[in-house]
Structure 1
Amino acid sequence: MSLNKQTTLPSQTPVYGWTIVVTSLAFVVAQLDVSIVNIALPQIADTYKVDINILQWIVDGYTLAFAVLMLSAGNLSDLFGAQRLFQIGMIIFGISSVACGLANSPFLLIAARVFQGVGAATMIPSSLAILNQTFADTPNKRAKAIGLWTAAGSAAIAAGPIVGGILIKLSNWRFIFFINAPICLAGILLTFFLKKQAKPTLVKKFDILGQVAWMLSITLLIAAVIEWSKLGFTHPLIYGSLLLGGISFIAFLIIENKVSHPMLPLSLFNSVSFNVLLGLGAVLNGFYYGTVFILSLYLQNILHYPPLTAGLAFLPLTAGFVISNLLSGNIINRYGLRTPILIGLTLFAFGFSGLFTASMHTSFWQLSIPFLLISLGMGLAVPAMTTGILSSVDKTLSGTASAALNTVRQAAGAIGVAVFGAIAANGGTAILHTITVSIIAAIVCTIVTIVLSQKYLKKGIW
């Protein structure tokens, strides 16, 4: 079959099916490694004899690199083609995953996790851009495709603790990283079945100064929060990092406003809906990542669950994500984007309120309903949020827009882990205290987001 014929195939043909499969594989491995490591933290700590401070870096080394480089990867996707960047990202991710499994020190593991984040940052914007371009002429099918893509990633992030628990039970924690290699290899091979994308038409320079300023601002902020509990706020490294991080962020905004080809066009923020959706992404990811990090320690260090049982405790999260994501495409097409967002946020808030029962004697089943509600809420809201972001920008900027959304989400996730980890640094009852604080903060922030969504996401497509 010629490439010219492929480009005219209707969207129910195998080429389009392969597109969803391949892009979803990338999202699966990227999201899996956000959460799969959480269930292995006690075993990693035992292997390397390290405290929660180092464990935070093992988790956040990945999400930090993911967040820092996402915008650049989105720009490179728009400049050089999404498929090319997608393949490069899969290669980097696969190799660095093997390096994680072979690491013989915590610092080598952190370094390998950073390179995993580089691979993930390269894959995700390009995978979403491939979907957006492939289904550009069929908005309804695009919504369903994004729903399936999101379902795969959401199921992976929720299933991470379960998969991790099984792998640790069968072997050891190193295999939570080795499992990525064959998946990445399959993804690379399957790219040859994708529809040939149009050559990039954008002509612009790479925004090096903007990238450096962004990298410094986010890295310094998150590093300061992680080290806060160990060094104290009065330590020069802490307030110095916060100060330099703030200056770097201001410099980033100035640079993006001045350069002719910005990494993040500030004109994207002229849309109130775009801004509300970015805020929504930050709220959901920040509290979800931080809470899963703490709950993984809670289940094993407080309730003394073995890794497999702790992983199975997260099963309702997986079920909720799969159910709601698979339904989201039809719900969006029938009711628009605002309805699933508002319902999803409401379920998310109710789910967190259910975690108030967490104590030193909480049963396995008491956590099931809160976990299910949290994932049902996120599973409804995230596909609508993603579709809304892509619908608000020109198709040629889809890589940059999706990168902006995922950058905010990953940065918020890294900050969530850093903040919750800092509060729980003393272990024991401090972990329970952190859960209570996270519940209250999550409910308050979610209610604020509901109010903003109701006010600014207008009817019509919304």
Structure 2
Amino acid sequence: MEEITDCITKEKLPSFGFVVGTTSLAFVVSQLDVSIVNIALPQIAQTFSADISALQWIVDAYTIAFAVLMLSAGGMGDLLGSKQIFQLGLFVFGIASLGCGYAWNVPSLICFRVLQGVGAATMIPSSLSILNQTFSHDKKQRARAVALWTAAGGVSIAAGPILGGLLIHISSWRMIFLVNIPICLGGLLLSRHLHESDRHPNKGFDILGQFLWMFTLTAFIGAIIEWHDLGYKHPFIISSLLFSVITFCLFIITEKRAIAPILPLDLFRSANFNVLILLGIILNNAYYGTVFVLSLYLQDVLLYSSLHAGLAFIPLTAGFIVSNLISGKLMAHYGIRLPVLLGTSIALIGFTALLIADTDTQYWQLFFPFITIPLGMGLAVPAMTTGILASVTKTRSGTASAVLNTTRQAAGALGVAIFGAMANGGSAAIVHAISVSSIISACSLFCCAILIFKYLKAV
């Protein structure tokens, strides 16, 4: 606190702690809203008489908007300046959170969740870009900053169910959204003292690419969510899947020809960039989908209250805190390769251990997967993020971070859609969804670990 006060009053160059702390607020509030909603799903369902498909839309409306707009937001940050885009994102997110807190039905809640996703998509790549540019002169300092920034997000996503359970116990599910407002206000006030970042000259804005990406992701995930209720032969499902394939092909063609593409395909010429993006996709798909199902499992199968279910997630929070800090130290001494490989392997073991979940499983039996999954992810994600940023020039850091977070959020939304659809059908379906999600996640991580070992170079 003294560092921040000194920085503000004396108008010195922002300190390491001030920059990391301020930018981390955006990551904290955006990641918090990924997981905090999960613990409130039974209460929201009761308030609005919502089924599982509606609950999936409440969760995925946020992540889809997040993923859809982040590519454009990353480019806008490089073009207009990351500080301005960062502040805009905080403002939009705060307004949207207020709307979510006072939503009057499911459609209104979904709409405000979309607006939250817009705010998150705007502030996340810009916050990471600010970090990258501020500490680009010192690799060790940048690695430490990214590790702390990632730790803040990792802890918040893991702490979401715990905080959500407490807030619901004290007040109601509406409070899980209203708690975001003071965080956003604090971020806006502090961000005034961040310095302007470098800008990357751009010749235009890829509007067509933005719309094609939006249509692709929304149609595909919408089809997955409605698959269970409508059946795979339903015209909506078939047409949505076909539409998403067509728009995705058009999107790739557009990006090859665009003067200023939202997805610069030349980024994928780097082997490091490719394998780390793949790792981010697999980790988010596994974690988001699994936490969604686990929230239903703890409350609908094991019959925990919202408070007890939230407290059950404490090991996930502790695991992220410890491993994120360790990851920064490992990177400083050994580079990114060791923490990425080690973290991927530990997460693989954790997801495999979730196969133990059944209708009468004791909590102590779940403790091992609940601690090893965040331990592995917490080791891998900071190193993965650092590796992505190191693979591009600093003026393209906003775009690179946007690509990373876009693919991760899209994968997370897909995980919720797929695993959530499996859980639609009562206790037996929820337990089955956990088993299938564990197998898919573990197998995907195993294949990814092999690719990382073969292609990832030390940074």
User: Structure 1 unaligned runs (5+)?
Assistant: none
The letter for the 2-side match of 1:364 is Y
Corresponding residue for residue 273 of structure 1: 272
Corresponding residue for residue 102 of structure 2: 102
**Mapping for residues 35-184 of structure 1, pairs under 5 Å:** 35-184=35-184
Q: Distance in 1 between matches of 2:52 and 2:178?
A: 24
Deviates more, 1:324-333 or 1:32-41: 324-333
Q: Distance in 2 between matches of 1:195 and 1:36?
A: 32
State the Cα distance separating 1:449 from its structure 2 match.
0.4
Q: Distance in 2 between matches of 1:383 and 1:360?
A: 35
Residues 344 and 445 of structure 2 are in contact (CA less than 8 Å); yes or no, is this contact kept in structure 1? yes
State the Cα distance separating 1:173 from its structure 2 match.
0.3
State the Cα distance separating 1:108 from its structure 2 match.
0.3
SS of equivalent to 1:360: coil
State the Cα distance separating 1:201 from its structure 2 match.
4.0
Q: Distance in 1 between matches of 2:436 and 2:452?
A: 24
The letter for the 2-side match of 1:335 is Y
**Mapping for residues 250-399 of structure 1, pairs under 5 Å:** 250-399=249-398
Q: Percent identity at matched positions?
A: 58
Deviates more, 1:248-257 or 1:327-336: 327-336
The letter for the 2-side match of 1:380 is L
Corresponding residue for residue 24 of structure 1: 24
The letter for the 1-side match of 2:395 is T
Residues 56 and 225 of structure 2 are in contact (CA less than 8 Å); yes or no, is this contact kept in structure 1? yes
Q: Distance in 2 between matches of 1:185 and 1:30?
A: 14
Residues 30 and 120 of structure 1 are in contact (CA less than 8 Å); yes or no, is this contact kept in structure 2? yes
Give the root-mean-square deviation of aligned CA atoms. 1.4
TM-score (normalizing by structure 1): 0.96
The letter for the 2-side match of 1:84 is Q
Q: Distance in 2 between matches of 1:427 and 1:108?
A: 27
| 1:142-185 Cα distance to aligned partner (Å, 9 max, x none) | 00000000000000000000000000000000000000001100
Residues 423 and 434 of structure 1 are in contact (CA less than 8 Å); yes or no, is this contact kept in structure 2? yes
Q: Distance in 2 between matches of 1:196 and 1:67?
A: 26
State the Cα distance separating 1:364 from its structure 2 match.
1.8
| 1:64-110 Cα distance to aligned partner (Å, 9 max, x none) | 00000010000100110000000000000000001001001011000
State the Cα distance separating 1:335 from its structure 2 match.
1.0
SS of equivalent to 1:45: helix
Corresponding residue for residue 217 of structure 2: 218
Residues 343 and 377 of structure 1 are in contact (CA less than 8 Å); yes or no, is this contact kept in structure 2? yes
Where in structure 1 do 4 or more consecutive aligned residues deviate above 2 Å? 195-198
Q: Distance in 1 between matches of 2:385 and 2:197?
A: 21
Q: Distance in 1 between matches of 2:437 and 2:323?
A: 24
State the Cα distance separating 1:2 from its structure 2 match.
11
CA separation of 1:390 and 1:440: change in aligned 2, threshold 3 A: same
CA separation of 1:406 and 1:201: change in aligned 2, threshold 3 A: closer
Residues 202 and 396 of structure 1 are in contact (CA less than 8 Å); yes or no, is this contact kept in structure 2? no
State the Cα distance separating 1:443 from its structure 2 match.
1.1
Q: Distance in 1 between matches of 2:196 and 2:420?
A: 45
Q: Distance in 1 between matches of 2:49 and 2:192?
A: 45
State the Cα distance separating 1:138 from its structure 2 match.
1.0
Residues 324 and 379 of structure 1 are in contact (CA less than 8 Å); yes or no, is this contact kept in structure 2? yes
Q: Distance in 2 between matches of 1:295 and 1:24?
A: 27
| 1:352-409 Cα distance to aligned partner (Å, 9 max, x none) | 1211211111122221111110000000000010000000011111000000000000
Corresponding residue for residue 3 of structure 2: none
Q: Distance in 2 between matches of 1:238 and 1:245?
A: 11
Residues 274 and 389 of structure 1 are in contact (CA less than 8 Å); yes or no, is this contact kept in structure 2? yes
The letter for the 2-side match of 1:51 is D
State the Cα distance separating 1:238 from its structure 2 match.
0.5
1:233 and 2:232 are equivalent in the alignment: yes
The letter for the 2-side match of 1:137 is H
User: Structure 2 unaligned runs (5+)?
Assistant: 1-5
State the Cα distance separating 1:6 from its structure 2 match.
6.9
State the Cα distance separating 1:50 from its structure 2 match.
1.0
Corresponding residue for residue 415 of structure 1: 414
SS of equivalent to 1:70: helix
State the Cα distance separating 1:260 from its structure 2 match.
1.5
